[in-house]
Amino acid sequence: MQLNLSQLENAFELREGLPRPNWQLIWDNIPTDLPDDQLNALWDSIVIQWLQALIASLPPGYAIDESPNFFVLTCESLETRSRIISHCEYYRTEILKILDDDSSDIGYGKHLLLAFHEHSHFIDYISDYFSDGTYGTFQGVFINDTYQHIALRTCPKDDLASTIVHELVHNLVAAYPLPTWLNEGLTMHIERTLLKKEFHWYRAGLLSQHKNYWNRLNIQDFHTGKSFPSSGPARELSYALSHTLVHNLFADFPDKMKDFIRTAHYNDSGDAALQATCGVSLSDRIAQTLGPGNWSPITPLFPPPSA
């Protein structure tokens, strides 16, 4: 079966000069009884049509590269294009080995990576997903949309492997209901492991800053994930603490981390899963960095709406 988006009225909406798929409309036109192989082929066809629409809206030179598990849109040299898609395939395989769970790589259609050469085009694209206009110093971003995909900048090229690994981890654990600290810490840990980067404490004085900043009240923002996109010291301290927690957990419980990752849930910051799989509480693990105190999440972190 084929779905011709050019014949589907309003299949795309133009925002920031770029076509955005109307996913709800597209979903409504996909039969629900197709076998998996036909659904995969149909979604691949839909993505190719979307990429062709993007090419028509971008400067000359953009092209689609395809591998067994990826579509990549880029306008780089043949050498760089080959390197990008090779990185994608290689690091996908290595990340899945660490996770030891092929079920994390679920969904129809191939993985998608949009590699923008110009910073302005990258910002134009991701602005649709960050309505507050805050993009930080993004080199890349995993977009957890109806069709999950990665967008990144190809300059500087020295950071390509790091960016691809980082965003691919986010992509491959998106099916897990992970707390933010575990999602971000796991991403940094796997990136460091695969690229053979040494673990370090970011900068001098950070440990004392941790101890001066965190308390029983604001540690709840760490548990809910609220502190990660914030400004000021909370952001840096949250990422550093999450990286340290995951690094130490892998060091102490290397054979149990796969089960912890599979069973952790954001509603209690992964505390119950950590106790069940590793026999330690999250509060005790945080205390290794912050010192004695009650660092446990006040649950449920995300109570259901009142009736």
Note the pLDDT tens digit of each residue in 243-285: 999 999 999 999 999 999 999 999 999 999 999 999 999 999 9
CA distance 258 to 137: 31
Segment 32-45 shows an average pLDDT of 94
Strand 63-66 versus strand 18-21 pairing type: unpaired
* Least confident piece of the model among 9-13, 124-128, 231-235, 250-254: 231-235
Note the pLDDT tens digit of each residue in 166-188: 999 999 999 999 999 999 999 99
pLDDT exceeds cutoff 60 at 306: no
Q: Which carries the bigger pLDDT value, residue 138 or residue 226?
A: 226
CA distance 104 to 56: 33
Segment 135-149 shows an average pLDDT of 87
**Ordered domains of the chain (ranges, CATH):** 5-175 (3.40.30.160), 181-290 (no CATH)
pLDDT exceeds cutoff 70 at 102: yes
Confidence bin at 159 (pLDDT 50/70/90): confident
Cα separation values, 138 from 150, 155, 225, 229, Å: 12, 12, 18, 12
**Long-range contacts of residues 208-214, Cβ cutoff 8 Å, at least 24 apart:** 209/233, 209/237, 210/237, 210/240, 210/241, 210/289, 210/290, 211/290, 211/291, 213/237, 214/241, 214/290, 214/295
Cβ 187 vs Cβ 170: under 8 Å = yes
Most confident of 90-104, 156-170, 274-288: 274-288
CA distance 71 to 81: 11
State which amino acid sits at residue 39: L
CA 167 distance to own-chain centroid: 5
**Exposure of 168 by Cβ count < 10 A (0-12 exposed, 13-18 middle, 19+ buried)?**
buried
Segment 42-50 shows an average pLDDT of 97
Confidence bin at 307 (pLDDT 50/70/90): very low
Give 163's contacts (C-beta < 8 A, 6+ positions apart): 139, 140, 152, 153
The rounded mean pLDDT for the chain is: 92
CA distance 230 to 211: 19
pLDDT exceeds cutoff 50 at 236: yes
Q: What is the pTM of this model?
A: 0.93
The DSSP code for 43 is: H
Confidence bin at 132 (pLDDT 50/70/90): low
Confidence bin at 133 (pLDDT 50/70/90): low
CA distance 271 to 299: 10
Confidence bin at 130 (pLDDT 50/70/90): confident
pLDDT exceeds cutoff 70 at 135: no
Segment 16-21 shows an average pLDDT of 96
pLDDT exceeds cutoff 70 at 152: yes
What one-character-per-residue DSSP string does 48-87 give?
HHHHHHHHHHSPTT-EEEE-SSEEEEE-S-HHHHHHHHHH
CA distance 52 to 134: 28
Q: Which carries the bigger pLDDT value, residue 16 or residue 133?
A: 16
Structure tokens at 250: 């892998």
CA 225 distance to own-chain centroid: 14
Q: Which carries the bigger pLDDT value, residue 89 or residue 137?
A: 89
DSSP percent split of the chain into helix, strand, coil, nearest 5: 50, 10, 40
pLDDT exceeds cutoff 90 at 107: no
pLDDT exceeds cutoff 70 at 136: no
Note the pLDDT tens digit of each residue in 204-235: 678 889 989 999 999 999 999 999 998 889 99
Segment 71-97 shows an average pLDDT of 96
